[in-house]
Amino acid sequence: MTEIVVEQPGGLSEVSRVVNTFVAPTKTFTAIRRKATWWLPFCIMIVVGLFFATSIDRKVGFDAVAQKSIEQSPMLSDRVASMPAADRTRMLNRQATTTKYTTYGYSAIILLWGLMVALLYWMTMNFVMGASIKFKQALAVWMYGALPGSLKAGLAACLLWANVGTEGFDIKNPVGTNPAYYLPDANAALKAALGFFDVFGLWTLALMVIGLAAISGKTKGQAAVVAVGWWVFGLLLATALGAMFG
């Protein structure tokens, strides 16, 4: 008697998808083409984000983070230096409070960012590359592809608990996995550009290429035009903003 095996929708469990994102990404993204779920990577991002925020709160303090952010911007630093002492204190407190809430609200911010990037991928793949992907597929690709960023945030948090890098902590670039980490703050535009050449960031970029190719049926070269194209746009924009406001 022949046994009939019925494949489950999506082909992989949510846990298997997360694991395969790191060891066999094509399997994960092929499964997304059949069933575009992304709740588990998002839950992972929430947990890691809270761990990261708590680590900063306990080991560095958001007052120090706010002070560092002001020092990194000559324009803002000069403005603060010209204020009366009481106004400087109030501004620093506001900056610290805003940074604290923003960091603890990382999951909401990352969801909004993911929706925006997924929309750009969806529009570009469909209207420029002639693919036929669904928005939820593009969003799922982004969610799984962004998992290396959670590894970086988790690493940064662990280093803080080990009292590594607590002095001069830079919340925008907390781990030395890119050349910008080792540059002085004065080189704002160059730091913004080199920050894009981050080990975890490039890993994510590669996953986006694999993912877009898998869900669209296009070649990796065509998917790279989209993913790398938007990456270059972001690099140029960040560099320009760094030059203007750094």
| Count of other CB atoms within 10 angstroms of residue 191 | 25
Q: Can you tell me the distance from the alpha carbon of 162 to that of 169, in angstroms, rounded to the nearest whole number?
A: 13
Name the band, by pLDDT with cuts 50, 70 and 90, for residue 164: very high
- pLDDT at residue 246, as a whole number: 63
Between the alpha carbon of residue 151 and those of residues 73, 162, 204, the distances in Å are 28, 16, 11
Q: What is the pTM of this model?
A: 0.91
User: Over 60: is that where the pLDDT of 187 sits?
Assistant: yes
Cβ-based neighbour number of residue 169 at 10 Å: 18
Q: Which of 2-16, 91-105, 153-167, 204-218 has the lowest mean pLDDT?
A: 2-16
At 89, the pLDDT band (50, 70, 90 cuts) reads confident
228: its two tokens = 């790398």
pLDDT at 3 over 60: no
For residue 74, name the pLDDT band (cuts at 50, 70, 90).
confident
Whose CA is closest to 92, among 102, 77, 104, 105? 77
8 A C-beta contact, residue 41 and residue 146: yes
**In this structure, how many other beta carbons lie within 10 angstroms of the beta carbon of residue 232?**
11
Mean pLDDT of 105-118: 95
* C-alpha–C-alpha distance, residues 116 and 105, integer Å: 17
Instruction: Give the confidence band of 137 by pLDDT, cuts at 50, 70, 90.
Output: very high
Q: Tell me what the mean pLDDT of segment 198-221 comes to.
A: 98
Q: pLDDT-derived band of residue 4, with 50, 70 and 90 as boundaries? A: very low
Q: What average pLDDT does the segment 83-101 reach?
A: 89
- Helix, strand, coil percent values for the chain (each to nearest 5): 75, 0, 25
pLDDT band at 166 (very low <50, low <70, confident <90, very high): very high
**212 CB-near residues (< 8 Å, 6+ apart):** 121, 125, 133, 138, 141, 218, 223, 226, 227
C-beta separation of 51 from 59 below 8 A: no
- Give the torsion through C-alpha atoms of 99, 227, 207, 31, to 10 deg: 110
What number is the average pLDDT over the span 113-136? 98
Q: Is pLDDT above 70 for 2?
A: no
Tell me, what DSSP letter sits at residue 175? S
DSSP 6: P
Compute the mean pLDDT over every residue in the chain, rounded to the nearest whole number: 92
pLDDT class for 32, splitting at 50, 70, 90? very high
User: CA-CA distance, 66 to 90, in Å (whole number)?
Assistant: 12
H helix count then E strand count, the chain? 12, 0
Residue 9 pLDDT more than 70? no
- pLDDT top residue among 163 and 89: 163
CB of 124 within 8 A of CB of 90?
no
